[in-house]
Amino acid sequence: MTAATRATYYRLFLKIHGVDTDFQFIKRDSDLDHTFTNLTPGTTISAYVIAANPGGESVPSPTVTKVVGA
């Protein structure tokens, strides 16, 4: 992932299919690398990111959907 222009932090959202009815805010992070932990292998998840700074937030990134590996 490439840093967003003027972003000072990122808001991470995750949805666990079959568990969550909507995306859940996970964390505010200034790092471009983040590992979601404690996920069950075989579970389908979707995630997106919002770049932000004190002036506001960007539109959400495209949603990525993956199956958690073993």
Q: Which residue has the higher pLDDT, 30 or 14?
A: 14
The answer to whether the CB of 15 falls within 8 A of the CB of 22 is yes
CA distance 47 to 9: 16
Question: 24-29 and 56-57 as β-strands: parallel, antiparallel, unpaired?
Answer: unpaired
> What is the structure's pLDDT at 70?
65
Q: What is the pLDDT of residues 19-68, one digit of tens each?
A: 999 999 999 988 888 888 999 999 999 999 999 999 999 999 999 999 99
For residue 1, the model assigns a pLDDT of: 62
Domains of the chain as residue ranges with CATH: 9-67 (2.60.40.10)
Q: Between these two residues, 22 and 6, which has the higher pLDDT value?
A: 22
